[in-house]
Amino acid sequence: MAVAAFDVVDAGAVLAEINEDFLCCVICLERYSDPKILPCQHTFCKKCLVQLAEKGVADTDVPVNDLQSNFFMSSLLDKIPEKLVAGTPKVCEFCEENKVTSICVECQQYSCTSCTRVHKKTKATQSHRLLSLDEYQETKNKKPFAVQPIQYCNVHTGNQLKYYCDTCQTPICMECTIIDHKVHQHRYIKEVADEYSVKLKWKVRKLKVKADETETSKKSAKAACEKLKTYCKEEEAKINKKTDEILADLRRQIEAVKQKKKRLVDQLKIEYTARVKYMEIKVDELEMKYGNIVSTSSYLETLVQHGNPGQILSAKQVYQQRIDGLITMETKPQLIPDLIEFKPHPGRDVVGMLATNACQQYCSLDNIPKQLIKGDTATFMVTTRDIQGKQVIPLQVVEARVTKPDGSSDDIEVLDNNNGTHTMMVHGEIDGKPRGIAIDNDGYVYVANSNNKVQKFDRSGRFICRIDKDNDGLNIPNSVAVTDDVPCRVVLADRGNHCVKIFAQ
């Protein structure tokens, strides 16, 4: 008897925990009244949602009256009435006189020995299951499903739901199988529920993995925010150090240096504030994803542990798409944006500058001449920009290389203007001036120039090859043409030699 008493107390504690954690609305803090499911899968009382909607607090695209009822929660409320949570009554609920000895599983009412006999003999209740208190408590602790009321068909009243129609995706009774669902595919409801429970358990495991991934990403995002703030403070400290050095040597420029300092710090904070805000948004997104995953996982675990086969399968269509969406949801995004770093100037007149990574595809090259003849010089301007196309001072070193007409290449000296632009000077390498130009069907350019050479270039002006040879003895070629052959032939008017020459490539 001592063991039985311990089991009763333990079961009461479990019921109280279930009542508090799962059966109470977090708005009114009372047991659910007509529970409704929101699109986010949270459950609230209908009356609470109506009150919030009237106050303009609730923001949902679906009207409260059109929200789907949480049938699983309603079933739990029916199966765990408040009187069960409070404990087993001492007096029979029928005669209200004698000591309780039994409970009816279907009615969920406690009765004495006399009322139990009457309950068994009454035609309307003679099929009900009556258990002694010890039997009921032992069965409830070991097999909770065994002491839940039998579910009956809402079409054929009084018929137990024993089958599941695969065609209609719904639980049915024996009469349904031979009338409404005669030609459909159906199986025993327990077989289908066991099969789907296995799938749900597998998905719950995957959801737990996703929850762990999301939690890890959330922690990483928070750490990244702190790291960005630390970077900001460190770079500000560098600015302060440099400006203090300048102020020590050049007192007359104190005000000017302070103004430069303020502009740099403000710019730095603006840049890092934007980056921190970006990371905080990522944290909020991950927090929301984590909440959705955890709440859905918790609900499904409760459904698997406490729901009967009909409840489990009734929730299948509601949650299947959401579960798959949560499992495939992105929970490991790219977190660290480009950093802004302070680059101190080596001299004493300039504090320094804020630099970041430049994106090569957004950089531009200006002042490009159409042709650069040997002896001429051209000055090019390179503007460095970030991924948003904004002119920035780059963290990278800007280098340049020029390709000569003979195919060789040389490095070019690049002058950093310390404002996001770089200047470079290029000297012409092409001999002579063009006397004749022709373009073939593939876009290649053939040039006959004053130094008695015929050269081939691609459409971007890059030197490809020389067509003639030194022993061809060209003398003032002044016109050039190409044939339509493949490959084409080059036809040249050699004015000095009074002839036309044809070169095959």
238-265 average pLDDT score: 83
d(CA 377, CA 402): 13
- Give CA 63 to chain center in angstroms: 28
Q: Hey, what are 40's tokens?
A: 């986010």
Among the listed ranges 5-9, 75-79, 263-267, which one has the minimum average pLDDT value?
Answer: 5-9
123-151 average pLDDT score: 79
pLDDT band at 126 (very low <50, low <70, confident <90, very high): confident
pLDDT at 6: 32
pLDDT at 215: 93
pLDDT at 74: 74
Q: Hey, what are 156's tokens?
A: 């054929």
Residue 145 vs residues 305, 388, 403: alpha-carbon distances, Å? 10, 61, 82
Q: Using an 8 Å Cβ cutoff, are 70 and 116 in contact? A: no
d(CA 283, CA 224): 10
pLDDT of 16 over the 60 cut = no
pLDDT at 53: 81
Highest mean pLDDT, choosing among 163-167, 352-356, 376-380:
163-167
pLDDT at 60: 66
Instruction: Name which residue leads in pLDDT, 88 or 109.
Output: 109
Highest mean pLDDT, choosing among 234-248, 356-370, 418-432:
234-248
pLDDT at 31: 81
171-180 average pLDDT score: 91
Q: Which residues contact 348 (CB under 8 A, 6 or more apart)?
A: 246, 249, 250
Highest mean pLDDT, choosing among 80-84, 277-281, 330-334:
277-281
**How do residues 416-472 score in pLDDT, each as one tens digit?**
888 889 999 888 766 566 778 888 888 889 888 777 788 888 877 788 888 888 888
pLDDT of 51 over the 90 cut = no
pLDDT of 407 over the 90 cut = no
Q: Using an 8 Å Cβ cutoff, are 380 and 423 in contact? A: yes
Count CA within 13 A, CB hemisphere, residue 150.
13
**In this structure, what DSSP letter does residue 472 have?**
G
pLDDT band at 395 (very low <50, low <70, confident <90, very high): confident
Among the listed ranges 121-135, 320-334, 338-352, 448-462, which one has the minimum average pLDDT value?
Answer: 338-352
190-198 average pLDDT score: 91
pLDDT at 17: 57
d(CA 233, CA 273): 12
Omega cis (within 30) before 487? yes
pLDDT of 135 over the 70 cut = yes
pLDDT at 408: 76
pLDDT at 8: 37
pLDDT of 334 over the 70 cut = no
pTM above 0.75, yes or no: no
pLDDT at 1: 28
Q: What is the mean pLDDT of the chain?
A: 82
Q: Which residue has the tokens 């009615």?
A: 107
The 3-state DSSP class for residue 218 equals helix
pLDDT of 122 over the 90 cut = no
pLDDT band at 202 (very low <50, low <70, confident <90, very high): very high
pLDDT at 59: 63
204-229 average pLDDT score: 93
303 by Cβ neighbours in 10 Å (0-12 / 13-18 / 19+) ranks as: buried
Q: Hey, what are 183's tokens?
A: 């030609």
SS3 per-residue string spanning 33-57: CCEEECCCCCEEEHHHHHHHHHHCC
d(CA 264, CA 214): 36
pLDDT at 232: 93
- Residue 208's nearest CA partner among 303, 321, 328, 297 is 297
pLDDT at 166: 92
pLDDT band at 412 (very low <50, low <70, confident <90, very high): confident
**Amino acid occupying residue 436:** G
261-277 average pLDDT score: 86
Q: Hey, what are 63's tokens?
A: 């009207």
Give the β-pairing of 393-394 and 352-356.
parallel
pLDDT of 10 over the 60 cut = no
Instruction: Name which residue leads in pLDDT, 500 or 370.
Output: 500
Among the listed ranges 13-22, 65-74, 265-274, 331-340, which one has the minimum average pLDDT value?
Answer: 13-22
Residue 423 vs residues 389, 409, 475: alpha-carbon distances, Å? 19, 19, 40
How many C-beta neighbours within 10 Å does residue 58 have?
15
Residue 420 vs residues 312, 360, 413, 415: alpha-carbon distances, Å? 63, 13, 16, 11
Kind plus residue range of the DSSP H or E element containing 163: strand 163-165
DSSP characters for 342-364?
A: EEE-SSSS--EEEEEPPPGGG-E
**How do residues 284-300 score in pLDDT, each as one tens digit?**
989 999 999 998 888 88
pLDDT of 82 over the 80 cut = no
SS3 per-residue string spanning 379-419: EEEEECECCCCCECEECCCCCEEEECCCCCEEEECEEECCC
pLDDT of 4 over the 50 cut = no
The 3-state DSSP class for residue 266 equals helix
